[in-house]
Structure 1
Amino acid sequence: MGTDVRHAVVIGASMAGLAAARVLADSFEAVTVIERDTLPRASGPRAGVPQGHHVHALLALGAKVFEGYFPGLRAELERAGAPVWDWGEGLCAVLPHGTPPPTPMGMPIQTFSRPLLEHVVRGRVAALEPVTLRDGLTVTGLRTSGPGKVTGVRVKHGDSEDEIVAALVVDASGRSSHLPQWLAALGLPDPRTTTVDAQIGYASRIYTYPEGQAAPSWMGLLQPLRAPDFHKGCYAIQIENNVLHVTLHGAGGTQLPRTEDEFLAYAKSLPGPIADTIASLTPASAVRRYARTLNRKIAYHRLPRWPEGLIAMGDAVCTFNPAYGQGMTVAGLEARLLEQTLRSQRARIPLDGHAFQKRLARLTVSPWLMATIPDRAWERSRLAWPVKAGNWFMNRLIDTVPHDPKLFTAFSSLFHMTAGPLTLADPRLLSRVLAGPPAGDNARTAAG
C-alpha cells in the first residue's frame, strides 16, 4: 500500500481490537496491539474485562464474521469443549406468555466463556506475521505533528515513557477510553455523548454437575427483563469444561445476590427451571457482580473536523447493554467496515478517519435501537411516542412468539442480526404480531 503505510497501532486487545488487528494485518507491514493488562497465557479472566465473569454470547452473525476472519475458529473452540447447538432446538426461553416449543431453525450457536473466546482469537491474531502484542503497556496520549495529524501514541511502562510512531492509530480501548480528553488537547470540542441506563445489574457463577448427573435438556436458558413488571431474569448456558454458567440479572436497582444462599433464593423467585436446575449442582466459583451496563454512544462523527491517522471503534465509540449480546458481533461488523474502507481507499492513503466514523455511526443505529428502546422503558422520564410504539410492538411480538413457530424463527433471526427489522414488515408476519397471543392467554406476574 505504499511506503506511507507501514505501521498501525491498536489500543486495546479487546475483541474489537483483535478484530481490527486481523484486518489491518492484510494492509500494513506491521501492526502493534497495545494492552494495559498483563495478558494470561491460558484461558482466564483479566482485570480489563470485568464483564468476562458473566454469560457472553456471540450472535449467529458475529460467529459467521469471526469464522470468516479466522477459518476453523468454531472447530478450534469445539475442540476446547465449547458445544455447538441449534438455537431453536436448544433454547429454553421463559417469556411472559410461555415458552416456545423446540423449533429446528438450522441456526448453529456455540456457547463458551468470554475468556476462552478471547484466548483463542488472541492466539490467532498473535500468530499473524505482521502483528505484535505488547501487554502491560499503558497508552498515555496521542503523538501528533500539529493539531490535525496523529502520528502514533505515547506509552508508559512502569516509570519509563516512550513513543511509538504509526501511520494509523485505532482506539479500541473500550469503555475506559480517554479519547475525548486526547481530542480536547488537540483543540476539538467535546463530542456529544448519549446514555441510556436501565440500572441493570448482574450476579453470576458457574456450576459443575455431580458425578452421574445429566445436564439439563436445554443448552441455553433465556429469561429476559421487561419494564415495568418483569424486573428479574436470568441467562444460563452450557459452556466448555462441562459446566453451567448462570447469570441472574435485575433492573431498576433490584438488589442482586452476594452469597450462595442469596443466589439460590433469587433463582427461586423466578418462574422457570433455573432454581430446580442449580439446586442439585455444585457451585464452582464465587458470586460475581457487575453493574456497568448502561448504553453509551459518543458522536465522534459529528465533530467539525477529525485528525488524520486516527479512528475509534468498539466500546470506545458505542457501548451496548451486554444483556442483548450485541457487543462482540458489532465489533466484528466494525472490523469488516474497516476492511472495506481500507480496500476502497487504497489509492487515497491516509485513511479518511472522519468518513469512517460516519459510516460506523450508521452501522450502529440498528443495534443501538434494539438495546435502548426496551432500556428506555425503565427510565422514569416520559417516553417519546416512537419509543412507546417500539416497545409496544416488541412486547407484542415476544408475547406471540411462544404460540407461533414462524414468529419465533423471525424473532430469532432479528435477535441474532442475521435479518434486519424490515423482516417483520412482511404482511404475513406483521398480521400475526398485531393479532397477538391467543385470546385468554394471560401473562404471568414476575415474582419479587
Structure 2
Amino acid sequence: MTEHRPSAVVLGGSLAGLLTARALAAGGARVTVVERDALPDGPAPRKGLPQARHVHQLWSGGARALEELLPGAIGRLRAAGVSRVPMTTDMVALSPYGWYRRWAESAFMLPASRDLLDWVVRGLVLADGRIALVERAEATGLTGTGGVVTGVRIRAHDSAERTLTADLVVDATGRGSRAAGWLTGLGLPAVERREVDSGLVYASRPYRAPEAARAGFPVVNIEPDPRGSGTGRGGVLMPVEDGKWIVTLFGGRGDEPPSLPGEFERYARDGLRHPLIGELLGGGAEPLGEVAVTRTTANRRHFFERMPVWPENLVVVGDAVCALNPVYGHGMAVAARSALAVRDVVRRRGLGSRGLAREAQQAVGRTVRAAWDLAVGADVFYPGATEEGPTLRDRVLAAYVGRLLRTATGNGRVARRVTDVTALERGAEALLAPSVVVAAVAGPLKPTLAAPPLTSEERRSAGL
C-alpha cells in the first residue's frame, strides 16, 4: 500500500502562486499549478503581466522569505547580475521634506527586471518534482459548498473542461481574481472590501546606462509631495542587471506622464520636483525601447480574514487579497511573506486538517497589513481616491508619519527604523516605540541637504 499524499491546486503561475506552490510542497502536498498563459522558457515578457515593464525591487523582508522558501534563490539572482542595494546607503531620494542622507545600512533591496526574477523563481519551483504545471488553462469556478471546497473547474485553451479535486485550493490569480464572486455563489456573505485609487499613471522606459555608471550606481527616487500643488508627480531610476536602468515616471489625475519618448525625458527633467533623473538620462544614457504605460494602480483589499464563516480547503493569496499601488514596491515581498505564512500553518496543522484554511487566511491577512497601511495612508489623500475621503484614523496616521519622514532626513536612527518597516523587516508597531515617538517630536538632528547626495565619482560616471 502507498501512503496517501494530500493534493493542492494553485490557480495562477506568477510569483505569488509559484511561491505558495513551493510552500505547500514543503508541507507534503502534491501540487498542480494552473496558469492561464504559456510561460516563457527564459527571462521574457508574458501576456498576463503587463506591469513587468516598470521598476521592480524585492525588499529585504521579502528576499529573506524567498530564500527560506527557495534556498539558493538570492544566489541565483546575484549570479544573473542582480545587485544587493543597501538602504539607504545606496539610494539618493528626495522626500516631501528634503533629501535623505545616505545612512549606514539597515535593510536592503534586490532591484531586478520582473522577467528575470520570475524566471529564476519559476525554474527553482518547477524543478521540484512534487509540483506540476498546467498551462493555457483558467479556472471557471469552485466545486463544493459554502462549508467545504472540494476542487476547481478549469477550461483549457481548446475549450475542454475538467474538474481538479484537491485537499486545498489556492487562488493566486491576481487583480482579476473572482474569488469574492465564487464565495457568494456558494452561499456565503459578501466579502468586506476597500479600494483607494490615487489615480496614478505609470510610464517606464529601459536605458543602457553610461559605461562608467553600469556598476554600483545608486537608486534615484524623486518622491511626490502631497502638500504641493501637483497631484503626485515622481520618478524612480533603478539600476538593474546587464548595465541597464529602468526609469519609471508617474503622475496623478491631470498630471499623467507622457508615452512619447521625447516628452518622457522632458517630463523627467522639467516635470518633477527636481530634474536629477532627467539630467542623468541626458548624460549619456541610451534608450533601449519604447515607453510602456500602466493605469491600473489602485490599492484594493478584500478582507477575507474577517468573514464570519470560511469554507474548508480554500485560501486566497497575493494581489487577489491585497493589490497595492506599485509605487511602494511591496507586491512581491508581500507575496513571498504570505507564502511563508501559509507554509508555517500547513506544517503546524497538517494539510487537510479542520480549520487550516481559515487559520492560513488569517495569517495571510496579517502579512499584508503593514504594506496596506503604508500605501493607503499616503494614497487616500489624493483627490478622488475614495468617495468618502480620508478617515480620522488616516489623518492621524498621516500626520505622525509625516513627522517621522521629516525627522528621517536628519536622524539616522529614525531613518533606519522607517526603512526597516518599509522593507517589511519589521512591523509598523516599530514606529510607535517610545524612543521613536520622542525623536519624531524633536525633529531632525541635522539641517536639510541643499543638493542630491551624489558622490563626485557618481556624478562623473553619469556624465553630470
TM-score, length of structure 2 as denominator length: 0.89
Aligned residues: 441
Matches within 5 A, 1:189-204: 189-204=189-204
Q: Does the CA contact (< 8 Å) of 1:206 and 1:246 recur in 2?
A: yes
C-alpha distance 29-197 of structure 1, shift in aligned 2 (>3 A): closer
Q: 1:127 Cα deviation (Å)?
A: 0.4
Cα–Cα, structure 1 residues 379 and 338, in superposed 2: closer, same or farther, change >3 Å?
Answer: same
Q: How does 1:384-423 map to 2 (within 5 A)?
A: 384-423=391-430
Q: 1:211-222 alignment to 2 at 5 Å?
A: 212-215=211-214, 218-222=217-221
Q: Could you tell me which residue of structure 2 aligns to residue 326 of structure 1?
A: 330
Give runs of aligned pairs for residues 280-291 of structure 1, distance below 5 A. 280-291=284-295
Q: 1:189 is paired with a residue of what secondary structure? A: coil
CA distance in 1, matches of 2:351, 2:138: 33
Quick one: which amino acid aligns to residue 408 of structure 2?
V
Post-superposition Cα deviations, 1:103-154, rounded to whole Å, max 9, x if no partner, equal 221534321111111110010010001001121111111122x443222211
Q: 1:168 to 1:79 in 2, by over 3 A?
A: same
- The residue that corresponds to 2:238 in the other structure is 237
In the alignment, is the contact (CA less than 8 A) between 1:24 and 1:31 conserved in 2? Answer: yes
Q: Name 1:70's counterpart in structure 2.
A: 70
Is the 1:196–1:295 Cα contact (8 Å) retained in structure 2?
yes
The one-letter code sitting in structure 2 at the alignment partner of 1:150 is V
RMSD: 2.4
Deviations 1:55-91 (A, max 9, x none): 1111111011101111121111111111123222210
Match of 2:81, SS state, is coil
Which digits, 9 at most, give the CA deviation of each residue in 1:282-319, with x for residues without a partner? 11111001111111111223333222221111111111
Q: Cα distance 1:143–1:78, how it changes in 2: closer, same or farther (>3 A)?
A: same
Using the TM superposition, give the Cα deviation of residue 442 of structure 1 relative to its aligned residue in structure 2, in angstroms.
11
Determine the C-alpha separation between the residues in 2 that align with 1:217 and 1:332: 26
- The more displaced of 189-198 and 351-360 is 351-360
Q: Indicate conservation of the 8 Å contact 1:112/1:240, yes or no.
A: yes
Residue 275, structure 1, aligned to residue 278, structure 2: yes
For residues 216 and 126 of structure 1, the distance between their equivalents in structure 2, rounded to whole angstroms, comes to 32
Gaps of 5+ in 2: 452-464
The equivalent of 2:297 in structure 1 is 293
User: Could you tell me which amino acid in structure 2 is paired with residue 333 of structure 1?
Assistant: R
Unaligned runs of 5+ in 1: none
- Matches of 2:432 and 2:354, distance apart in 1: 41
2:213 match: secondary structure? coil
Match of 1:346 among 342, 350, 367: 350
In structure 2, the CA distance between the partners of 1:396 and 1:346, relative to structure 1 (3 Å rule), is: same
CA 1:277–1:168: 2 relative to 1, 3 Å: same
**AA at the equivalent of 1:88:** T
Seen in structure 2, the aligned counterparts of structure 1 residues 354 and 233 have a Cα distance that, compared at 3 Å, is same
Q: Which residue of 1 aligns with 2:263?
A: 262
Once the 2 structures are TM-superposed, how far is the Cα of residue 216 of structure 1 from its aligned partner?
A: 8.3
Aligned residue in 2 for 1:27: 27
Q: What is the CA distance between 1:266 and its match in structure 2?
A: 0.7
Residues 342 and 351, structure 1, Cα contact 8 Å, conserved in 2: no
Shift, 1:416, TM fit: 0.7
**Who is 1:370 aligned against?**
374
Q: Which amino acid aligns with 1:327?
A: G
Change in 2 beyond 3 A, CA 1:3/1:237: same
TM-score (norm 1): 0.92
Determine the C-alpha separation between the residues in 2 that align with 1:275 and 1:437: 29
Q: Distance in 2 between matches of 1:49 and 1:423?
A: 34
Q: 1:300 to 1:221 in 2, by over 3 A?
A: same
| Mapping 1:73-112, distance limit 5 Å | 73-112=73-112
2:313 maps to what in 1? 309
The percent of aligned pairs where both chains have the same amino acid is 32
